[in-house]
Structure 1
Amino acid sequence: MAPDERAARDGSPRLLREINDRAAIEAMLRRGALTRAELEAAIGLSKPATVALLARLEKAGMVRRGELRGGNRGPAAQMWSVNGALAHVAGVSLTPDDVDIVIADITGEIRVEQRSALPSGNDAPQVFIDAMARAAERVDLRPEQLAKIVIGSPGAVNPATGHLGFAPHLPGWEGFDLPGRLRAELGADVIVDNDVNLVALVEMTTGRARQVRDFVLIWLSDGLGCAVVIDRVLHRGVTGGAGEIDWMHVPDRARLDTGVDRTGARLGSLLSDRSINELAHAHGLKTRNGAAAVQAARTAGTAGQEFLADLARRIATGVAGVVSVLDPEVVLLTAELAQAGGQPLADLVAAELHRLVVPRTPVEPAQCTELAVRAGALQVALGLARERVFGLPATAVGIRSGSENQQEEAR
């Protein structure tokens, strides 16, 4: 018996139509514009049922007709696609220096990309709000017309208070309910999430962690971060601070002394641009920043290898505690230092890590690097908007709308 016949007998044709409609929308979101025959094959319906489905979705404004596709035989086929104008979302990467905004329609088609400088100080949030308004205006929208705005930021938002913590390098953004203020000012649903968490989401969907259930992502830049994923769900902690290893105090196990307190220093300080440069200079390498030092060291012979080994000791010392507790499948390294060091640096970190802890966890460079924070923010925004508009399950792991997330986690 066919599914529609069973549903009719069970008195649930409406439920079956909703299921088929969602399957059709999902197929078009995943594959782009489709002909009726392609959609029929993708969701397994008969020709009459698919024709009726498309007519129903077109009448509801969910899909629209596109161009005709010519073939070798027979008449040209009508193309169908999801109506992108149903909703628009914004994904944002916020750093101490600038704000990088992307606006896309609900199909994921990018409509606007805009990067603006951000001042430090108390007027930074208002400058951000003005930048969002300008970006929305470029597609004839107001900020309140955006279905979701997701912001990736250093630090972490406490779900109970909305306060941004662990982010002293973002002056002007602390001490108040950050998502609440932005929602009030922009008139839209705003979510602020940790930037490294968003990179981990991208890594799970398009990077090296696609088939991995438990992993740790280490952000190696002038600003250290970590994301923890357990059973493919981001672990955030009660205050949102899970993974804030920047603040861990660890001994400096580098072989050469650079004047750091050998008994304990903040890990983020040990892996800062300044500290890495000092370590490089101690090894006879003259460079301008941490990433340049790592890049130069790869071709600098013995001195370069000894510097990279010292740097790997610092990284591994910070990662060891996380690995020994979680025993993840893999540790992924990302951001500027990881890009510059590539697999050789990852191998050195792995070798040093295995001297410190029992788990023989592999260490690899992450795959997603360029614009990964913004991409993660957009991914979350699209997933939540599609959940609201189409009833599709949000693909963003462990993230709901800002108000729901805050209320639930504060309980």
Structure 2
Amino acid sequence: MPASPSTARAINDRLALRLLQQEGPLTAGQLKQLTGLSRPTVADLVERLTACGLVEVVGESGEQRRGPNAKLYGIVADRAYLAALDVRTEGVSVLVSDLLGRVLAEASAPIGGGMGTGAAVEQAVGLVERVAKEAGADRPHTVGIGAPGLIDPASGELRVSSGLPAWHRRLVAAVQERFPEARVSVENETNLAALAEQREGAARDRDTFVLLWLGMGIGAAVVLDGTLRRGASGGAGEIGFLPVPGTAGLPSATDCDGGFHSLAGASAVVALAAAHGFAAPAAAHEPQAAALVRGAARAADREPAAARFLDALAERVSLGAAAVVSVLDPGCVVLAGEVGRAGGDTLAARVRDRLARMSPLPTEVRPGALGGGAVLRGALLTARDRAQDELFAPPGR
């Protein structure tokens, strides 16, 4: 059944806007070539999008001939401002961008464990407000929040967790109250990291992969056939609870101690380095575990202690990776988070070699390209997608 005229216009408009988003300013002639639409159809859609304030003339092409087709059309970047938050146990990071994703302002703030829930929420929301004002965006159109923990698939809200501070769950409602007109959403941090790595990082050429987050906590994100899979309860990828050999016990429903977290979490990585006699200078810009792994990756060819430490860490990481590979056969595992990024190709190669011995399923192992910033970038991409879905809808819908 052929599409109705209004549906066809909506499809054409979105196609043109996506091209302008990806390629930058284009002439009407270039839009015609890239979309395959007729010249009158392109002229009509440019007129519609200009009239509703989504597109504007930003210059002229280098063509000698002047006329409508020589005008360069671009998205009106300040039509909407976007805010992204990366919420951690010990603090929060915020950035604000325009509709094109250009970062206008950003900042981070620690939130001490001794701070009360109300004060912690106010400090976090106040940071969002301050960064938004610095960016000239008193009213962000869309806010994307990345947080540890499970997201209820029915309500879209952060579920109660005994392992997370109370201010986390209060934060989403507080942001919505401070910015009542904004569209606010929250997503698991590891899922957002996978989205960022898929769109802009190590998994750009993969429709199916698993991202293994190695940092203060342990998590995984599953992308199958281009779609993020959250599971029936939103808990797909809670690999920190995975029972593995080499721990002192078994995890429980409320505590991942005894699970994979006990082998590959940040505190376990620090203890493992000490057990193998490897030390590295502290780095002000990254956690101790990441600094140790980065130092070992750089020194592995000349320092036996560094090589032994990395080998032992790779053995541990491969246990969790092998369990995921045997069930999902993703073909690719991305080692992300501060520790995964710090290990780089050196750690990834060690994990890949061990996986090849443990599993008959061929699996690439790659270091994440975006490091600890992947969560914030994923939150921004999510916010931008939501804003575009609304703003790029047919005019007058």
| TM-score of the superposed pair, with normalisation by structure 1 | 0.80
CA contact (8 A) 1:330 1:361 kept: yes
Q: Which residue of 2 aligns with 1:98?
A: 91
Call closer, same or farther: CA 1:11–1:181 in 2, change over 3 Å.
closer
Could you list the per-position Cα deviations for residues 6-52 of structure 1 after superposition, in whole angstroms to 9, with x for gaps in the alignment?
x9xx8954444333333322221221112232223222344444334
Are 2:53 and 1:66 equivalent residues in the alignment? no
Q: Is the 8 A contact 2:340 2:367 kept in 1?
A: yes
Greater gyration radius? 1
Does the 8 A contact of 2:331 with 2:361 survive in 1?
no
Cα separation, partners in 2 of 1:127 and 1:13, compared to 1, 3 Å: same
Paired position in structure 2 for 1:306 = 308
29, 43, 51: which one pairs with 2:43? 51
Alignment of 1:338-353 (within 5 A): 338-353=340-355
Contact 1:198–1:373 under 8 Å retained in 2: yes
Residue 324 (1) aligns with residue 331 (2): no
Structure 2 CA distance, aligned partners of 1:138 and 1:351?
48
Whether 1:116 aligns to 2:115 is no
| 1:283 maps onto 2:295 in alignment | no
Q: Matches of residues 2-401 of structure 1 in structure 2 within 5 Å? A: 12-71=4-63, 73-75=64-66, 77-120=70-113, 121=115, 122=117, 123-142=119-138, 145-160=139-154, 162-165=157-160, 168=163, 170-173=164-167, 179-187=172-180, 188-252=182-246, 261=248, 265-287=258-280, 288=282, 289-298=288-297, 299=299, 300-369=302-371, 371-391=373-393
Change (3 A) 1:69 1:177: same
Deviation, 1:193, is: 0.9
Indicate if the aligned counterparts of 2:80 and 2:387 stay in contact, CA closer than 8 A. Answer: yes
Q: Matched residue of 2:143: which SS?
A: strand
> In 2, Cα distance between the equivalents of 1:344 and 1:335?
15
Contact 1:64 1:82 in 2 (8 A): yes
Structure 1 unpaired stretches of 5+ = 1-6, 253-259, 393-411
- What TM-score do the two structures reach when normalised by structure 2? 0.83
- Deviation, structure 1 residue 166: 5.3
Shift of 1:370: 5.5
3-state DSSP class of the match of 1:209?
A: coil
Q: Measured at CA, do residues 200 and 115 of structure 1 come closer, stay the same or move farther in structure 2, by a change above 3 Å?
A: same
Distance apart, 1:353 and its partner CA? 2.8
Q: Distance in 1 between matches of 2:136 and 2:289?
A: 42
Distance between the aligned counterparts of 1:345 and 1:297, measured in 2? 9
Given residue 112 of structure 1, which amino acid in structure 2 is its aligned partner? A
Partner deviation per Cα, 1:350-386 (whole Å, 9 max, x = no partner): 2333444443423222233262111111111111111
1:139/1:335 CA distance change after superposition, 3 Å: closer
Tell me how far apart the structure 2 counterparts of residues 327 and 70 of structure 1 sit (CA, whole Å). 50
CA contact (8 A) 1:309 1:348 kept: yes
For 2:76 and 2:340, how far apart are their aligned partners in 1?
40
Q: Using the alignment, how far apart are the partners of 1:271 and 1:377 within structure 2?
A: 25
- What is the identity, as a one-letter code, of the residue corresponding to 1:158? D
SS in structure 1 opposite 2:363? coil
> Which amino acid in 2 is paired with 1:25?
L
Cα pair distance change 1:105/1:295, threshold 3 Å = closer
Question: 1-side partners of 2:211 and 2:54: how far apart?
Answer: 38
Deviation of 1:178 (Å) = 5.5
Measure how far apart 1:160 and its partner are: 4.8
State the distance in 2 between where 1:108 and 1:390 align.
Answer: 15
Q: How large is the Cα RMSD of the aligned pairs?
A: 2.9
> 1:285, CA displacement in angstroms?
1.5
d(CA) in 1 for partners of 2:42, 2:187: 40
Contact 2:95-2:107 within 8 A present in 1 as well: yes
Q: Which moved more, 1:194-203 or 1:27-36?
A: 27-36
Structure 2 runs not aligned, ≥5 long: 252-257, 283-287
Q: Which deviations, in whole Å up to 9, do the C-alpha atoms of 1:235-273 show, x marking residues without a partner? A: 212332221222334222xxxxxxx63888332232233
Q: Please report how far the alpha carbon of residue 318 of structure 1 lies from its aligned counterpart in structure 2 after TM superposition.
A: 2.2
TM superposition shift of 1:194 = 1.1
Q: How far apart in 1 are the matches of 2:153 and 2:128?
A: 23
**Distance change >3 Å, CA 167–CA 82, structure 1 → 2:** farther
* Cα distance between partner residues in 2 of 1:304 and 1:321: 26
Looking at structure 1, the residues matched to 360 and 162 of structure 2 have their Cα atoms a distance apart, in angstroms, of 33
The number of equivalent residue pairs is 372
CA contact (8 A) 1:222 1:271 kept: no
- Once residues 374 and 326 of structure 1 are traced to their aligned partners in structure 2, the CA distance between those partners, rounded to angstroms, is 27
